[in-house]
């Protein structure tokens, strides 16, 4: 939990480690296990097997980061 909004939290976290994938999600890039597409959606699977949807606006940036 944080007293900061997600925009302010995003600014405070180091961009070399944390990446915004959705208006509601910021992830640690060291915990990403895979990136995949299902139908017209893009998803990240984290090391703890949690699957998170990546917004269209962030999908291209995360693909560049991963590959």
Give the model confidence (pLDDT) of 2-42 as tens digits: 898 999 999 999 999 999 999 999 999 999 999 999 988 99
For residue 46, what are the CA distances in angstroms to 24, 31, 39, 40, 63? Answer: 16, 6, 20, 20, 15
Q: Residue 27's pLDDT is what? A: 96
Kindly state the average pLDDT of the residues 37-55: 92
pLDDT at 16: 92
Task: Examine the pLDDT at 66 and tell me if it is beyond 90.
Answer: no
Give the pLDDT mean for 44-65: 91
């Amino acid at each position: 939990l944080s007293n900061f909004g997600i925009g302010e939290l995003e600014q405070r976290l180091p961009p070399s480690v944390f990446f915004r994938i959705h208006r509601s999600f910021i992830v640690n890039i060291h915990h990403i296990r895979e990136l995949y597409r299902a139908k017209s959606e893009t998803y990240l699977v984290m090391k703890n097997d949690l699957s998170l949807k990546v917004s269209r606006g962030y999908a291209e940036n995360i693909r560049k980061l991963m590959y």
